[in-house]
Structures are given as C-alpha cells and as structure tokens.
Amino acid sequence: MNPPNARSRPIIEVNNVRKEYPVGDETVVALKGISLEVMRGEICCIFGTSGSGKSTLLNQLAGMEKPTRGEVRIGGVPISRLNERQLAGFRQRHLGFVFQSYNLLPNLTATENVAMPLLFRGVPKAQREAAARKLLCRVGLSHRLDHFPRQMSGGQQQRAGIARAFIARPDVVFADEPTGNLDSKTTLEIMDMICSFARDFHQTIILVTHDPEMAAYAHRIVTLIDGEIVRNQVNHKENARHGTSPFPQSSVPSAPPGLADGGPARRAGGGER
Amino acid sequence: MQKKDLLRICLQNLMRRRSRTFLTVLGVLIGCCSIVIMVSLGIGMKESQDKLLAEMGDLTIITVSAPQRGKGKVKLDEPLVKRLRNLEGVVGVSPKQSLEVDSIRILAGASKRYIAEWSSVVGMDTGEIGRLGYQIVAGAPAKGDGQVVAGEFLAYSFKDTLRPEGRNMIDRWTGEIDSSGRPVDLPPPYLDPMKSPLVLEVTTQAGTFSFPITVSGVVKEDYSKGYETSEGLIMSLSDLRKLLDKVQGAAKKKLPYDSVLVKVASIDRVADVEQQIKTMGYATESMESIRKPMEKEARQKQMMLGGLGAISLFVAALGITNTMIMSISERTREIGIMKALGCYVTDVRVMFLAEAGAIGLIGGVIGCVVSSVASVVINLVSIGLSPENLPAALLGGEGVNRVSVIPPWLLLFAILFSVLIGLGSGYYPANKAVGIPALEAIKSE
C-alpha cells in the first residue's frame, strides 16, 4: 500500500470517471468525466452545492458505487474493479468513514462502536476495546466510554464517530458533511480534531461539504458544479495556518483570490443550510 | 470476524427485541412441542401394541405344519428341518411332537404319594430350546437319557393322595395378583420337581408303562409356546421316540412331527422367512399376520399425528421469516454502516442465519423440555396420579402401558429439525440483508 516515495505519488487517482443514473426513461449524468489526484497526507475538500455531484464523487472514491466509466485507484489499487469481498477487505484495511448523521449503532456502547472496524478484522475483544478506549479518551470522551449513542449529545456522538474512523489507522478517511448536524462551536472542535488526527498519522482526508468555513480547513479545495470540476486549488489560508503543505508548492496551480475568503463559495452553498 | 463475536452480536440482537424474539421462539416452541407430543403418542401406541402382541406370543417364532396333517406329499421330517436351518435369518429350529396316549401321570415321592395327572409331554430338540426363545429359569436344558425340562409350575399340578379330595392341591392363584395378571408370593408347593425323582406313567391300549425321569431344568411359562411350559414336560425327541416305541407295542409306526418351530433373528425378517417356507408347500403360522396390519395402521396414525405437528412448526417457520424480515428492514441502515466499515458480506449472512437458527434452537430445546414434562404428565394421568407411579411414567417398564413415549432420538430430531427450520426460514431474509448496499449508510435520514 505504501509506495516508497509516498510523498510524491498521489494516493488517490481518479481517472476520467463518469457516472450516469437511469431516472425513468432518461439518463442523468451525475459526473461528467472527472479526473483528480490527491496526495498522501492531504486534506482535500470536495466542495459544491447539493446536486453538484459531490456526494456521487465520494461514493465513487469510497467504492460504494461503481462508475459507469473511468477508474478510481487508491494506493494504486483499482477499487472500482474489486468485487464485494475484496472491497470489504480493502475498506477494513485502508478506508475510514465519518458520517453526517454519526451512524453509531444504537445498541452498542461508545467503546463497542469505536471498536467495530477492528471487530470486522477479527481482532480479539479485549485488544480492540482497549484500543477503542484509548482513542475515546483522546477525543475527550473518557467519561462516556460505556454510554449508548442515545445518551450522548450530537458533538459527542460525532467525536465517537471520528474515533471509529481512525481506529484502524486507515490511509484515507472520508468525511461526508461531518458537521452538518452540529452547531458552529462544535463544528470547530470536530474539524480541529479531524485535522489533528490526519496530521499525526499522516492520513489523507476527503472532506465533502457545502460549507465554505469548513472548506477553509483543507489543503486543497476541489469545487464541483453540475458534475464537473470547475476549480482545483491549494488553500493558502490553510497552509498559512498550519505552516506546512503536504505537496510541493510548485505543482499546485495558484488559487484565484476570493475562494479562500469564502466569498463566492458562500454564495454557491448558501442555499443548502 | 471471529465466531465468538458473531455469536455475541447475534445474541445481542435477539435480546434487543425481547418481546418479538420471545413470541417467535414461542411459535417454534409450540410447533416443536406438537411434533414431539404427536409422535410420542404414536410411539406409545405402537409400544403398547407390541406389548399386546408379545403377550399373545413370541413374535419371531414361525410354526410350520404340513398340509393335510402330514398325510400329503410334503412331510415334516428331518430333511425339512435341515433345510429350514439353512434359511437366512433363522437362528433356531426344532421339531415338536406331543405324546398322544390314553393317559399320562407323573408320580413322585415315597410310595407314589404325589401324583400329577393329565400332564402334557412334548418332544423337542432340547439343544435348540435356548435358541428358540425358551427361557430356562433354573437348572439346565435336558441332555437326553431320561432328562426332561419341566414347565415353570409343574410342581403345582401334583396332588397329595394322603389328603382328602378337594383339599389335596396347592392353588397358586390364591395370593395377590399383580397388574399383568400373574400371582405374586407363590405358596410353597408339595415338592421340588428338580430335587425329587419322578416316574412318568403312560397308559395306552397296550398297557401301562413306567419311565423314571429326572428334571434337569425349569423353563419360564409362555402360553404362546404351549401348555408344557406351564405345567408339563419337555423331553428330547430321541427319548420320546424310545418311549413311543415301547408303548405302542405291536402297532409300531413312525409318527411324523406335529409341527416345526422356526425362530427368526428379528421381527423384520419374519415375513421374508415365512414366505420362503410357504413356497416350499408348508402351512405356516406366526404373529406376523396380525402384527403387519397393526403396524401399518400404527404407522399411518403416526404419520398423521406427526404431519399435524409439522404443520404448526411450518407456521412457526413463517413467523421466523416474518420476524427476520422485520428486523432487517429496521436495521437496513445498520447493515449499510457495517458494510461501509468493512464487514464481509458472508459475515452479514452468517449473522442473520445465526439469529434465525438461534430462534429455532432455543424454541426446539425449550419445546423438548416442555414436551418431556407434558409427556410425563400425560402418562401419570393415564396410569394414575400418585408419586410412586412417577418412575413408571418416566421410564415405562414391564406391564406399564405409557400413552406417550419420547425416545432420545425424537428429542434430538426435534431440536435438529427446529434448527433447520430456523436456518431455512432465515435464508431468504439473510439474502435480503446481504443485498443491502453500503451506500445506505451515507443516505441522510
């Protein structure tokens, strides 16, 4: 999975991906030939309004759906061509998910929920739950270890969700509107948490959002409109904030002013909130 | 996923919807109970039928006789005995010939004080007696040379000539009689035939002849085998032949055997052996002709009862399917999440099959316990409600007719069947669960 020159080689390669959906007699084209590369350790934001195709793109990237045409490779593995069993194994080892609606299993405690990806891998109970507790403490839920999701606030649930996404040390974590259901203060906490995890473990984050404030956390912002990438730029504000960039500065086209401030993007995504 | 974890998750899910699980298990339980009870009634019926038949006679004995009382072409002779012995499934063969004379008396004691009259005496191949199913209760089989085997109650057929008529015999029926109609606590007889020398006195037209005999053993009474097992004597064929030679006097003639007894290894071979003997041209008689239709009827009833039970288990299977489908539609999102997090499809399938199978297993096990208790209660009611009848109701025994009999294989079968029903009815829902895409996890509510 880890190529020797991880820094220079993209971990995610999207090659001319097209996705069509049959709707009645017609065919709706959700993605019109998307090509994209994401570097290891990068926080990449897929930004767009509802109906822009950003969720569809996420589904292709995470192997939830198969593209009509084109190919998605993660770490060189063509996941759009894996069968269901290979895909499950690939998800266990290399992918993590943070969902908008947290998606913790209601009948499991926080610890059990966080330990779940390890459970699917066949890690013994004591071992996986120790790891889960450790991670829950790190996200500040040491007092909620044995609570059920319904006993926790949205922010707490999402922190557990983040712990679950990172517990198996995946290479790529997909976050689909991770703060969509949270207030602005919690949103900041959650985003800081995701970014700090990504930094610490040198993980790649694919962040899907319509919220320009969140897009500001990304190293790179890919803007989608009507199934096409209209902008793919490095976020200088973010880079300035963290002082580092995971990829060589020269390889990235310079961003037009305005987006980093959230100006046009806010207008574009304003309708969804 | 580890098996332990799969099992834990499956139980957790069952416990989540306690009342629904309980009701579904209850359905299986009732189905399992009805099968077990119905089949146990059938088995009980068959068991008492077999007991009834066994009381009527030994089920594996075929009595072979010659047509036209042996005056025709086919005869009951030594070559026939040899042929019968070679038939497959035959374990013992003995000709049987009774001593038919004007009078037979057995004398015993000093100056012939004790006399038994009208005794029946038969000649048999005494070496075969054990193999034919005669039970020697004391001593050993006769070996010829005046040795005989006595019927179990020969001692009670002696009368004491020194006592007045009417009070000169010991009646073994005076004491209490047990449930199977046999006397208990027999009074002591006048003499022990095995310990006192006896004299057989035979009277024919040619005169009266006496033969000294010794009783080497005593056989258990068995009405199906003839009166001689009760109060008569069995002697070897050669002894009987010698005796006949003497008493027939001038009218010496070789008598054919009355009949030939054939003992077959097991009940299910009786019909076959009997058919073979019939094709040789002999008349046969066995309990088979009664047993066959009875068994057929019993089997039909058993099938009918079992079928009724199976219907209720089938209904329970629909219940399991329904429960599983409901729980899957409730858990669609969960399954999507699990798949998104990397749960193998096979694990999802096993998870749901295990749930359905567990419902079947729990229902089956509890059903077996309940039906075992019900069976004992039914038996207790039929035998009589008292604590001392409990062992009889549980285990049956001699002379106890249980209404409901549950052999271990029935319980095992019922549990296995319930589990299979569970797995079978979980198959469709499990496939449904497998088909749920990981995408379900991402869909917003």
Q: Chain B closest CA to A89's CA: distance in Å?
A: 6
Mean pLDDT of A177-203: 87
Q: Is the confidence at residue A132, as pLDDT, over 90?
A: yes
The predicted model gives A110-135 an average pLDDT of 93
Query: What is the mean pLDDT, run by run of 10 residues, along chain B of 445 residues?
Result: 88 90 93 91 85 74 76 75 86 86 84 84 84 82 80 85 82 70 75 84 84 86 78 86 78 73 85 87 82 84 86 88 90 90 91 93 95 90 79 72 87 93 93 88 66
B444 to A100: CB separation less than 8 angstroms, yes or no: yes
DSSP state of A81: G
Chain B positions contacting chain A at CB under 8 Å are 1-2, 4-5, 12-13, 16, 333-334, 337-347, 437-439, 441-442, 444-445
Q: Using DSSP bridges, classify how beta strands A204-209 and A172-176 pair: parallel, antiparallel or unpaired.
A: parallel
- In angstroms, what is the C-alpha Rg of chain A? 18
CB B298 within 8 A of CB B42: yes
Give the lowest-confidence range in A94-108, A202-216, B61-75: B61-75
For B442, the closest of A59, A89, A119 (CB atoms) is: A59
Q: Nearest residue on chain B to A62, judged by CA atoms?
A: B340
Residue B399's pLDDT is 65
Write out chain A residues lying below 8 Å of B1, CB-based.
Answer: 119-120, 122
Both tokens of B130, joined, read: 């054990």
> Under 8 Å CB-to-CB from B352, ≥6 apart: which residues?
B324, B328, B426, B429, B430, B433
Least CB–CB distance from B339: residue in A88, A90, A107: A88
Q: What is the pLDDT of residue B298?
A: 83
Contacts of B345 in chain A (CB under 8 A): 84-85, 88
Find the range with the poorest average confidence among A116-120, A123-127, A190-194, B51-55.
B51-55
Q: How many CB atoms lie within 10 A of CB A171?
A: 21
Per-residue pLDDT at B32: 92
- Residue A103 with chain B: CB contacts under 8 Å: 333, 337, 441
pLDDT at B181: 64
Tokens 């399992």 correspond to B32
Identity of residue A146: D
Q: Do B16 and A89 touch (CB under 8 A)?
A: no
Contacts of A83 in chain B (CB under 8 A): none
Are the beta carbons of B2 and A99 separated by less than 8 Å?
no
Q: Which chain B residue is nearest to residue A60, measuring alpha carbons?
A: B439
Optimal mutation site among A66, A111, A120, interface B, most CBs of chain B within 10 A: A120
A122 Cβ contact list (under 8 Å, min separation 6): B1, B2, B5
pLDDT for A245 beyond 60: no
Pick among A97, A119, A206 to test the B interface (most B CBs inside 10 A): A119
Interchain CB distance below 8 Å, B2 and A64: no
Residue B91 has a pLDDT of: 87
What is the pLDDT averaged over residues A183-187?
Answer: 87
| Residue contact B344–A89, C-beta within 8 A | yes
Q: Which residues of A241-269 are buried (b: 16+ CB within 10 A; e: fewer)?
A: eeeebbbeeeebeebeeebbebeebeebb
A234 band by pLDDT with thresholds 50, 70 and 90:
confident
Which of A189-198, A246-255, B133-142, B283-292 has the lowest average pLDDT?
A: A246-255
Stretch among A102-116, A199-213, B145-159, B249-263 having the lowest mean pLDDT: B249-263
Q: Say if the Cβ atoms of B341 and A55 lie within 8 Å.
A: no
Nearest to A92 by CA among B82, B90, B345: B345
A105–B442 CB contact, under 8 Å: no
pLDDT of residue B267: 80
The dihedral built from the CA positions of residue A219, A225, A226 and A230, taken in this order, carries a sign that is negative
Question: How does the average pLDDT of chain A come out, rounded?
Answer: 83
> Residues 6 or more apart from B338 whose CB is under 8 A from it?
A105, A116, A120, B348
- The gap from C-alpha B293 to its chain's centroid, in whole angstroms, comes to 16
Whether A105 and B337 lie within 8 Å, measured CB to CB: yes
**pLDDT tens-digit series, residues B177-234:** 766 666 777 778 888 888 888 888 888 887 888 888 888 888 888 776 777 888 888 8
Which residues make Cβ contacts (< 8 Å) with residue B220, sequence separation at least 6? B134, B135, B136, B137, B152, B229
Give the residues across from B366 on adjacent strands.
Answer: none
Q: Is A117 on the interface with B (CB under 8 A)?
A: yes
Q: Which tokens hold the place of B350?
A: 């096993």
> How far off is chain A from B1, nearest CA to CA, in Å?
4
Partners of A55 on chain B (C-beta within 8 Å) are 442
Q: pTM here? A: 0.70
For residue A142, is pLDDT > 80? yes
Q: Which residue among A97, A101, A120 sits closest to B444, beta carbon to beta carbon?
A: A101
- pLDDT of B250 reads 61
The partner residue sitting opposite A103, judged by closest CB among B337, B342, B437, is B337
pLDDT in tens, A13-51: 999 999 999 988 899 999 999 999 999 889 999 999 888
For residue A73, what is the enclosing H or E element? strand A69-74
Q: B139 — alpha (psi -120 to 50), left (phi > 0) or beta?
A: left
Q: B422: left (phi > 0), else alpha (psi -120 to 50), else beta?
A: alpha
pLDDT band at A8, cuts 50/70/90?
A: low
Residue A150 vs residues A102, A119, A158, B330: alpha-carbon distances, Å: 12, 22, 12, 17
List of residues 6+ apart from B36 with CB closer than 8 A: B309, B367, B368, B371, B372, B375, B406, B410, B411, B414
Please list every residue in chain A whose beta carbon sits closer than 8 Å to the beta carbon of residue B340. Answer: 62, 64, 91, 97
A160 DSSP 8-state letter: H
Can you tell me which residue has the tokens 């079928």? B307
β-pairing, A26-39 vs A172-176, is unpaired
Cβ contacts (< 8 Å) between A58 and chain B: which residues?
A: 442
Determine the pLDDT at residue B69.
59
Q: A258 pLDDT exceeds 80?
A: no
Cα angle: A249, vertex A192, A219; to 5 degrees: 15
**Coil/strand/helix, residue A114:** helix
Nearest CA distance, B425 vs chain A (angstrom): 25
CB contact under 8 A, A88 and B342: yes
On the question of pLDDT at A3 being above 50, the answer is no
Which residues of A are less than 8 Å from B347 in CB distance? 120
pLDDT of residue A257: 41
A202 CA to centre of own chain: 14
- Residue A124 vs residue B55, higher pLDDT: A124
Q: What is the pLDDT of residue B360?
A: 94
Query: Residue A208's closest chain B neighbor by CA?
Result: B442
Decide if B342 and A124 are in contact by the 8 Å CB cutoff.
no
C-alpha triplet B396, B400, B403: angle, nearest 5°: 75
Residues in B closer than 8 angstroms to A89, CB to CB, are 342, 344
| Alpha carbon of A220: minimum distance to chain B alpha carbons (Å) | 23
**Between chains, do B347 and A58 touch, taking CB under 8 Å as contact?**
no
Instruction: Give the distance, in angstroms, between the CA of residue A139 and the centroid of all CA atoms in the same chain.
Output: 18
Place of tokens 């993980």: A203
pLDDT tens readout for residues A160-174: 999 999 999 999 999
**Predicted ipTM of the assembly:** 0.82
